[in-house]
Amino acid sequence: MSYEIKEDGKFKFIEEGSGEPLIFLHGLFGALSNFDAQIEFFKNQYRVIVPFLPLLDLDLLHTSVSGIEKFVQRFIEHRGYTAIHLVGNSLGGHVALLHILRHPVNIKSLVLTGSSGLFENGMGDTYPKRGDYEYIRKKTELTFYDPKMATKELVDEMFAITTNRLKVIKIIALAKSAIRNNLGEELNGIKQPTLLVWGNNDTITPPFVGREFNKLIPNSELQFIDKCGHAPMMEVPDEFNKILHQFLTKLNEPAAVNG
């Protein structure tokens, strides 16, 4: 399923459905298509929004977690979204964390899946090897529990990025920025209900990272999914959608009256 990409000013995004905004932020090698299954599932109840994050299109000075967060804030302001459910995968989770810490007012809930911000196994010092297709294929497979999820189309996409020297420099800049920007000491400032969805077989942000987020974010709950890697919304979309749906439904139920 592919959805119309809308343009408004400098922003490109998918927006389907109506209701409270449910905004999905993709990771470093992510794309709008990462959330096709979520758009399809949630568009009948929510206004589902997936902005294109210009991870490799900003100037080098702003190619950082903070630079991407500023872009997200401009997008939200420009579109006038309020009462937002903010969902981030991998680097997108890191951006979501930074955003909720800087601009908590319009955020109703936070959902992190395989998020950086505390610890992640980066691509390593040798990454990316330009022109080494096999290396890129293996790195792409590491994202998933099932290596077959790393389709030729996906690997080709990654490979194309890594053949561009400037894009390679920006990937390294973003990866280093994510490692430097450790939010451990700030996470207790998050007041919104937070859902953490982690793959039990995530090798990039392993399960202990999810547990640490759970410990540090006051109003958070943690759900693990078996036989799942770093991108649950892609690898096991039905299970991910079910967990997210239950969380959002509970959140929107009127509080029980005592007495």
Which amino acid does the sequence have at 38? Q
Task: Read off the pLDDT band of 190 (50, 70, 90).
Answer: very high
The C-alpha atoms of residue 233 and residue 96 are separated, in whole angstroms, by: 16
Task: Read off the pLDDT band of 1 (50, 70, 90).
Answer: low
Average pLDDT over residues 18-41: 91
- Residue 81: domain span: 6-122+182-252
Whether residue 151 lies inside any domain: the answer is: no
Strand partners, 109: 85
Please report the pLDDT score of residue 196 as a whole number. Answer: 98
Q: What percent of the chain has pLDDT over 70?
A: 93
Whether residue 225 lies inside any domain: the answer is: yes
The residue behind tokens 């439904």 is 249
Task: Read off the pLDDT band of 140 (50, 70, 90).
Answer: confident
DSSP letters of 203-225?
SSS-HHHHHHHHHHSTTEEEEEE
Whether residue 143 lies inside any domain: the answer is: no
Whether residue 176 lies inside any domain: the answer is: no
Please report the pLDDT score of residue 108 as a whole number. Answer: 98
Task: Read off the pLDDT band of 163 (50, 70, 90).
Answer: confident
* Beta strand extents in 55-209 (DSSP E only): 84-89, 107-113, 194-199
Task: Read off the pLDDT band of 171 (50, 70, 90).
Answer: confident
From residue 57, how far is each of 61, 78, 156 by CA, in Å? 11, 19, 19
Q: Is 9 left (phi over 0), alpha (psi -120 to 50) or beta?
A: left
Please report the pLDDT score of residue 165 as a whole number. Answer: 85
Q: What is the pTM of this model?
A: 0.92
Whether residue 148 lies inside any domain: the answer is: no
Residue 214: pLDDT over 60: yes
Residue 124: pLDDT over 50: no
Whether residue 243 lies inside any domain: the answer is: yes
Contact yes or no for 26/58 (Cβ under 8 A)? no
Residue 256: pLDDT over 70: no
Number of domains observed in the structure of the chain? 1
Please write the tens of the pLDDT for every residue from 48-89: 999 999 988 889 889 999 999 999 999 999 999 999 999 999
Q: From 8, 5, 3, select the one nearest 76 (Cα to Cα).
A: 8
Whether residue 164 lies inside any domain: the answer is: no
Whether residue 244 lies inside any domain: the answer is: yes
Which amino acid does the sequence have at 53? L
CATH code for the domain in which residue 193 is found:
3.40.50.1820
